[in-house]
Amino acid sequence: MKDLKISVHQIEGHCNMPMKKGDYFILKEGKIYIPAGKYFCMWAMQSVMPLLPAKQRTILESNDWLPGTEFVSCPDPKGRVILKIERLK
């Protein structure tokens, strides 16, 4: 399983949490790590959660759409926070 970094890539609206560009969490060995003194919006996190187990897979089929998908939008239509999912080495 690959480790992942999920970060705020862009904010196109007004995030009232307030998330900031560059905020992130790491998913490593099934555990979520958030930098000390920081937080991550539960609703933004919830929007990427269904994709994370699949993004952690090491073997992907040749016709799998997941490798080309790295951006996810927060569900708040006013915030329009764009999250980026990156596989870590």
Residue 4 pLDDT > 90: yes
Could you read off the pLDDT of 23-82 as tens digits, one per residue? 999 999 989 999 999 999 999 999 999 989 888 887 667 777 777 789 999 989 899 999
Short-list 2, 3, 13, 9, CA closest to 79:
13
Instruction: State the total domains in the chain.
Output: 1
Q: How confident is the model at residue 83 (pLDDT cuts 50, 70, 90)?
A: very high
Q: How confident is the model at residue 89 (pLDDT cuts 50, 70, 90)?
A: confident
* Sequence-ordered list of residues with C-beta below 8 angstroms from that of 20, at least 6 positions apart, any chain: 8, 11
Domain that holds residue 37: 4-87
